[in-house]
Amino acid sequence: MSAYEAIKKNILSNKYPFLDYQNLLNEHIMEKDKLNFDFENYIIVGIGGSSQGSKAVSHILSQKNIYYFDHLNAKKVDKVLNSINHIDTGFIFISKSGSTSEVLTLYDYISEFFGDELDKTKNFLAITENNDAPLYRFATHSGFHCIEHNPNIGGRFSIFTHTSMIPISLFFNNYLDMFKGFESAISDFLNKDSVSDDMSPVDIAFKKHNLILSGKKIDIILLYGDELYEIGNWMKQLYAESLGKNGFGYLPVISQMTQDQHSVLQLYLDGPNDKFYEFYSANYQESNNFIDLTLANHKQAMLKTLENESLPIVRISDYFVDNEQSIGYQLGYFFISSILETLLLAHLGGVDPFGQDAVEKQKKYLK
């Protein structure tokens, strides 16, 4: 059975809960309808896939009142906590297991920082599995709302679960358009319909697999537009954790342009020939701003340079970051297409895209 037929069969037999469009949409609407959590600011506390999906959407929309504590930088945490009106701030703690050490540390720190000045029953929200882990116990003991995390969906595949869609729904009015893009991506895949922007996950998966077999093990993800930086980080986790097994996979490198033209372009063009390239750019819809025009000019120059040097380009995609009417659909289509591409590549490479056993090697040394 071909890789495409294997993935298609699994989708049709509902073996991928993270691709079950109707169920995920129904679950989200049901949870959102009963959620009373409306604040001026939001702080999302989560690591990796627990927060990266909504962070990518927040960043592409240039949201100013959403803060992400996905790090352990005490100075940055203090700066945010000292700058906000905590009464007007909703704190969302996300951990699938409920025992993620960074999330628990930040929960304790925020609780002590505000003490009795903050009503957890109003300002705190948890998204975690219903289990005996600390985060669920904290929510139960303190009496704040807890949304159950789907135990069958891992972090990097959770973009359309509560971990991402609950936060996104709080700051993005057109977030349901993401589900429309999700539905279209699945439909196009199953029907082998043509797509725009070279976004076919089947074509890209086979391109990448052939490049990997030829010795290309580094994926340079060229980002034109700062709004796309966190999209790049979302891809980095998806590709690295899903495919980097048993000697297979490739290293995703996030390259911010045009800055990297002045630091690593020499290596890209004249260093080891072990790389392939993807282009992602912010499309400012025919902006006449001279800065935007210069950025677009640099992108075209880079494209021509790579083509003239016969260096492999696997994707060229534009995102309408200034148009909230279209960006939701685009993002939904992109997220699902990237996941389908990853499932196909995992099948072609003979690896399990869902495990991450090697990550546990580090955890055993944590105190």
C-alpha–C-alpha distance, residues 319 and 228, integer Å: 9
- What is the 3-state composition of the chain as percent helix, strand, coil, each rounded to the nearest 5? 55, 15, 30
The side-by-side arrangement of strands in the sheet containing 218-224 is 251-257, 218-224, 275-282, 313-319
Tell me what pLDDT residue 356 has: 72
- Token duo for residue 293: 């025009």
Residues of the chain scoring pLDDT < 50: none
C-alpha–C-alpha distance, residues 346 and 323, integer Å: 34
- Token duo for residue 76: 């940055």
Tell me what pLDDT residue 165 has: 97
Two domains, one topology: 35-172 and 177-349? yes
Count of beta carbons in the 10 Å neighbourhood of residue 320? 15
C-alpha–C-alpha distance, residues 166 and 147, integer Å: 9
Tell me what pLDDT residue 194 has: 61
Q: Is 355 helix (H, G, I), strand (E, B) or coil?
A: coil
pTM given for the model: 0.94
Structural domain spans, the chain? 35-172, 177-349
Buried b (16+ CB within 10 A) or exposed e, 1-20: eebbeebbeebeeeebebbb
- Token duo for residue 331: 């993002």
Omega before 163 within 30 of 0, i.e. cis: no
**Angle, helices 324-349/176-191, rounded to nearest 10 degrees:** 40
C-alpha–C-alpha distance, residues 110 and 236, integer Å: 29
DSSP labels, 141-155: HHT-EEEEPPTTS-G
Tell me what pLDDT residue 57 has: 96
C-alpha–C-alpha distance, residues 199 and 205, integer Å: 10
CB-based contacts of 156, cutoff 8 Å, min separation 6 = 48, 49, 52, 237, 238, 241, 242
Q: Are 241 and 234 in contact (CB under 8 A)?
A: no
Per residue in 292-325, pLDDT (tens digit) is 899 999 999 999 999 999 999 999 998 888 787 7
Q: Is 133 helix (H, G, I), strand (E, B) or coil?
A: coil
Amino acid at site 98 = G
C-alpha–C-alpha distance, residues 245 and 249, integer Å: 7
For 35-172, CATH number?
3.40.50.10490
Tell me what pLDDT residue 321 has: 82
Q: Which CATH superfamily is domain 177-349 in?
A: Glucose-6-phosphate isomerase like protein; domain 1 (3.40.50.10490)
Q: Are 325 and 335 in contact (CB under 8 A)?
A: no
